[in-house]
Structure 1
């Protein structure tokens, strides 16, 4: 649980940095190039399989630990105030994790699955290399064969799957936007407890470093990262 959790936290940082390309006002040029790189660069593909395995292992171990805890104490204490000895997030990690598991499945169905199964639009970018001026046009399926980069008379031509357009289309749905924001709230509480707990479980609990870990867990993973991800659907729904 702890090791996969720490690995998933590392992934969140990389994923957020990459997805910040969505905020560029370039008709998806940077984001679509990033999407192709992340799905075709061999070392990244290897890490992706580790990511999928980590998600499954993390979820399975969460279920196993929950069952073990339930079996160890099938009957609650006669007099016990859980609120006095634990935080709300620590008592509800199972619920928060379930919300996140549904979110991951929804997220992958909307973007990962459609991108890998050729169910997103296509786009062509033409960039004048002397001036930097870029134009774009939508492509029909019969005009496109995977990802292509070429140069013709000083003009760079890039043809790509338009995942940016798919993101724009998906976040036209207010219910999906609401669910994404709700899931990021769940992620926030999940990470506030989980980040610090993971380091404590692996034995990294020296009094000198615990305050630093707690600070990073709360303000980095509990606040900045969830807000960064939540701003993306809100940006497309309200601004684009």
Structure 2
């Protein structure tokens, strides 16, 4: 089979879906690590978001992170495109009798709802980009002085945005959708690329559950902490 035929086949689409999924999982590690810098205020009362603003500045001012950012957007779009292509194909070929027969015994509800969960995560991502990435990269942010140097005050932007209860609620819905999307997607990605050994899969499943819960809890804690004034 030619490479062009492979990547347009059902197996090839799932393989690309898995690879982009693993890439996005790695991105989540970086993203949650960067955002967790807001909690530096818990350990240093004089921080006022300085560590976070410095980290955000590094990601936006250096060519390597900016180049990876292009790859990130490409990975997101490819993951979405392949995901919907697979979902549409599954819907067109799914047997009603099979679905009724297995019901909840065949798989977890979230593994059967990856299309819906992915859509919710995508809609949340659009809002997130509009609220933070666009002001940071395009329209501009107010500046703050840290160690005598000017930095975009993305921390202050977060504080303002997360004062609105509806925004916090929206982020929590997005986090919940991401949690269940990851619970299935993490282990499914490794299985798709050929990791089928029972011992390894047991480790991957356990790691996936722990990763999904920890990462999502950290993401959810950010808007909650800022809304309640725990981080300021």
TM-score (norm. length: structure 2):
0.86
Greater per-residue strand proportion: 1
* Alpha-carbon RMSD: 1.3
Q: Which blocks of at least 5 consecutive residues in structure 1 are unaligned? A: 126-155
Is 2:21 the partner of 1:5? yes
Would you say how many aligned residue pairs link Structure 1 and Structure 2?
Answer: 208
Is 2:224 the partner of 1:224? no
Map residues 109-120 of structure 1 onto 2, 5 A cutoff: 109-120=130-141
Measure, in 1, the Cα distance between the counterparts of 2:59 and 2:40: 18
* Residue number in structure 2 paired with 1:234: 224
Q: Which blocks of at least 5 consecutive residues in structure 2 are unaligned? A: 1-16, 42-46
TM-score (norm. length: structure 1):
0.84
Match of 1:203 among 172, 180, 194: 194
Map residues 23-172 of structure 1 onto 2, 5 A cutoff: 23-25=39-41, 26-73=47-94, 76-77=96-97, 79-125=100-146, 156-172=147-163
Q: After TM superposition, where is structure 1 displaced by more than 6 Å over at least 4 residues in a row?
A: none
Give 1:89 deviation, angstroms: 0.9
* Residue number in structure 2 paired with 1:16: 32
Give 1:82 deviation, angstroms: 2.3
Greater per-residue helix proportion: 2
The secondary structure found in structure 1 opposite 2:111 is helix
| Structure with max Cα Rg | 1
Greater RCO structure (CA 8 Å; 6+ sep): 2
Measure, in 1, the Cα distance between the counterparts of 2:181 and 2:135: 28
